[in-house]
Amino acid sequence: MSIKILHIDSNNPILWQQLEDAGFENHADFKSSKEEIEAKIQDYNGIVIRSRFKIDKTFLDKATNLQFIARVGAGLESIDCDYAEAKGIHLIAAPEGNRNAVAEHSLGVILSLFNNLNQADAEIKAGHWNRESNRGHELNGKTVGIIGYGNMGKAFAKKLRGFEVDVIFHDILENIGDENAQQVSLQELQQKADVLSLHLPWTPETDKMVNTDFINAFAKPFWIINTSRGKNIVTADLVEAMKAKKILGAGLDVLEYEKLSFETLFQDKNTPEAFQYLLEAKNALLTPHIAGWTFESHERLAQVIVDKIKAVYSK
């Protein structure tokens, strides 16, 4: 029987080509609404998505022949995973595909914040030669705390080798430390960390996790990096901590104002007050959800998805 796959987002061409070469039947629909896709989804055995819309119970109830959902990305929060698994649907993601890109981006953000690179560049281009106000910090001797030690957290810890830093992490799973990082309690991490890097999924447990109480539990002023999900941080609380110099700098690749599709920034046309502060803050470095968005990861993500889909049908 031919396995029919519906692609609802564009991806690297190798994904389509290799699935076709393996005998799968590919179909594409990048424009139809969720309701229009639902009207025909019963004709397909698999679906390949990025983040165009949420795969919810309504969608899954109409997908009566669906055997797998493949998301070309690291997380599955746009899918009702419990309901899909209860229906026997395989869930496929590709965190292996962009973990290196996220790790390199995170490292670059720390080095830029520590050395005022973006600020100094802007000042030079505006005709200002300010040395003392751009005096930097060295990463050497600092303690980097990672929350979330999955694919992304582990890749970041590996990148930190050679910088002569102490790397510690907290995770809900136990006994997963390795040669690159020591596992500690959240309380110990908050006591020791000079830098906090988030590598978490967005779940009910991590939603708005970084709030005023969380920030104030840190013993020292610290820098924060977020390349995971924007809604893991309460931006207004972050900004208040930056004003109080409890947070020394913030590198945010994701923002709580992002829509699920990650294609546009705001839910509405109003610029939140906290975000306006970040736009003007010299110690805030903002990027548009590109930590895992390299040319290399674009291909690697597609390859991981192909390999995992083929594995489902080789058992």
Q: What is the mean pLDDT of residues 246-253?
A: 98
Which residue of the set 289, 296, 298, 300 is catalytic? Answer: 289
| 256 is an active site residue | no
pLDDT at 279 over 70: yes
Give which of 77, 21, 91 is closest to 305, Cα–Cα. 91
pLDDT tier at 68, thresholds 50, 70, 90? very high
Catalytic one of 77, 229, 256, 300: 229
269 pLDDT band, cuts 50/70/90, is low
C-beta of residue 155 within 8 angstroms of C-beta of residue 207: no
pLDDT more than 90, % of the chain: 89
Q: Which residues pair with 92 in a beta bridge?
A: 70
SS3 145: strand
Residue range 48-67: average pLDDT?
A: 93
| Interval 177-218: pLDDT, tens | 999 999 999 999 999 999 999 999 988 999 999 999 999 999
Q: Which residue out of 105, 199, 258, 300 is catalytically annotated?
A: 258
Q: Write down the pTM of the prediction.
A: 0.91
Provide the pLDDT for residue 138: 97
Annotated active-site residue 289? The verdict is: yes
Query: What average pLDDT does the structure give for the chain?
Result: 94
Residue 264 has pLDDT above 90, yes or no: no
Annotation says 199 is catalytic: no
C-alpha distance from residue 228 to each of 50, 101, 157 (Å): 16, 13, 15
Per residue in 130-144, pLDDT (tens digit) is: 999 999 999 999 999
For residue 196, give the 3-state DSSP assignment. Answer: strand
In this predicted structure, what is the pLDDT of residue 74?
Answer: 87
